[in-house]
Amino acid sequence: MVTLASSLQITASLSLVLGLAAVYLTWRRKGARDGLWRHGLPAGWALLALGLGGWATTVSADQGLALAAVLVMVLALAIVAAHGLAQPAKSVKAGRIREDSSRDSLTLGRGYWGRVAVRLTGSLLIVPAFGIAAGLLWYAYVPGDEADRLIGMALISTLAAATALVILLASRRPYRSAAVLTLATLVAAGLVLVPTGIVWP
């Protein structure tokens, strides 16, 4: 007998699969900006977030997110392994050609050390603050007993900090990414510190 919880878990799993497929196919097309593919990356991440949220709500916060993360990692490993085993020689050769062609064009560029300083400062200050604020926001608003909320807070803090670190380090405009993360941290901290009975009884 198919229950509502199992139906939601199946839907969440399909959302994870579709989200990962959208991210992978957009990456294969080198982030194409034409047609529907220009929305592939945000749509893929949104589907992944929905899948994680679906598992977290149908099971428990810690077990659901852990199971969903394992599913995503297994699927990603399968994609990477299949891609690497399909054409290993061609991939190595192409990588060497790209490395040789770009070796002479590597320059520090204008504002290089400024970007390095922003990434370093953001990694040491903004990223941990963002993770802590996200975890406290989870603890303050998600219903459940205190033990589950504490476990969820620890997991959400780690995931949020890891996501923020990837965004900051991978961004070509670290100033903008750092500003957005700082604003998100302040908003989350403000929601946690709101003097209402919903947040802090």
**Selection from 122, 139, 116 nearest residue 178 by Cα:** 122
- Average pLDDT of every residue of the chain: 76
Q: Say if residue 117 is in the same domain as residue 53.
A: no
Confidence band of 105 (pLDDT split at 50, 70, 90): very low
Count how many domains the chain has: 2
Q: Say if residue 36 is in the same domain as residue 119.
A: no
Q: Exposed, middle or buried by CB within 10 Å (0-12, 13-18, 19+), for 167? A: middle
The Cα–Cα gap between 38 and 57 comes to: 30
- The answer, yes or no, to whether residue 138 has pLDDT greater than 80, is yes
| Boundary of a domain, candidates 21, 36, 59 | 59
The answer to whether position 74 is within a domain reads no
The pLDDT of 18-45, averaged and rounded, is 73
The answer to whether position 70 is within a domain reads no
The pLDDT of 76-102, averaged and rounded, is 57
Confidence band of 76 (pLDDT split at 50, 70, 90): confident
- The answer, yes or no, to whether residue 87 has pLDDT greater than 70, is no
Contact call for residues 156 and 166 (beta carbons, < 8 A): no
- The answer, yes or no, to whether residue 146 has pLDDT greater than 90, is no
- The answer, yes or no, to whether residue 186 has pLDDT greater than 90, is yes
Q: Which domain holds residue 25?
A: 1-59
What local confidence, expressed as pLDDT, does residue 37 receive?
62
What local confidence, expressed as pLDDT, does residue 32 receive?
54
pTM here is: 0.53
| Boundary of a domain, candidates 42, 59, 76 | 59
The answer to whether position 178 is within a domain reads yes
Q: Which amino acid is at 68?
A: A
The answer to whether position 139 is within a domain reads yes
The Cα–Cα gap between 61 and 45 comes to: 19
What local confidence, expressed as pLDDT, does residue 196 receive?
44
The answer to whether position 5 is within a domain reads yes
The answer to whether position 3 is within a domain reads yes
The Cα–Cα gap between 3 and 95 comes to: 49
- The answer, yes or no, to whether residue 180 has pLDDT greater than 90, is yes
Contact call for residues 136 and 192 (beta carbons, < 8 A): yes
The answer to whether position 190 is within a domain reads yes
The pLDDT of 153-178, averaged and rounded, is 86
Q: Say if residue 55 is in the same domain as residue 116.
A: no
DSSP class of 125: I
Q: Say if residue 129 is in the same domain as residue 44.
A: no
- Which of 37-46, 90-99, 153-162, 182-191 has the largest mean confidence? 182-191
The answer to whether position 69 is within a domain reads no
